[in-house]
Amino acid sequence: MKTAIRKQMTISADVMDLLNDQIALEMHASASYLAMASWCDQRSLLNSKAFFYKQAEEERGHAMKIFEFINEAGGASISPAIPSVNNDFEGLREIYEASLDQEIQVTQSIYKCFKKARSVDDFASEVFLQWFVSEQVEEEDTVRGILDTFDLMGDMPLKMIDERLPKE
Ligand code: MG
């Protein structure tokens, strides 16, 4: 028997399509964080630079987790094209605001996958996605905390604000 037919597809086709979209979104988030890291790196904002390089790697890790899951479940993972990434920022606060917007978008997209998995009784995908639901709560909370710090620091010079921000 050929491997292709021996391997059973357990993932629902609809969930697989949404998860492939999710891979593209996570990879785009990764590329976007890389652009943010570069902006901070050029200005020697050391904590923010480290934070965004780390975020870029984490998002790639998320994409890979989904990538491997789809194939394991007998589906077909698709390596995505990365659409245009913004490399042009007005300031550090704007970068963190953009990063919160991005995380909220990712959260909404995870919810969409989760709802679909639930509605078609794709239990394996639903359980797999639970980790991402919790992860997004953490991701959003971290960036909201950073934006609170900005509010507290007011008009302090950027480097002094950066020194008070987390590296990861
Ligand atoms: Mg992610």
- The answer to whether residue 8 scores a pLDDT higher than 90 is no
Domain boundaries, the chain: 13-74+87-163
Of all residues in the chain, the percent with pLDDT exceeding 90 is 88
Averaged pLDDT score across all residues of the chain: 94
Could you tell me the distance, in angstroms and rounded to a whole number, from the CA of residue 71 to the centre of ligand 1?
19
Look up the CATH number of domain 13-74+87-163.
1.20.1260.10
Average pLDDT score over residue span 33-51: 97
Copy the structure tokens of residue 95: 């970068």
pTM of the shown model: 0.92
Could you tell me the distance, in angstroms and rounded to a whole number, from the CA of residue 74 to the centre of ligand 1?
23
Copy the structure tokens of residue 168: 């990861």
pLDDT in tens, 55-83: 999 999 999 999 999 999 999 999 999 98
Could you tell me the distance, in angstroms and rounded to a whole number, from the CA of residue 149 to the centre of ligand 1?
23
Q: At what angle do helices 13-42 and 46-72 cross, to 10 degrees?
A: 160
pLDDT in tens, 84-120: 999 999 999 999 999 999 999 999 999 999 999 999 9
In 3-state terms, what secondary structure has residue 88? coil
Average pLDDT score over residue span 138-144: 96
Predicted local confidence at residue 155, as pLDDT: 85
Predicted local confidence at residue 4, as pLDDT: 56
Contact between residue 86 and residue 78 where contact means Cβ atoms under 8 Å apart: no
- Nearest of 17, 9, 29, 8 to residue 113 by alpha carbon: 17
Average pLDDT score over residue span 20-35: 98
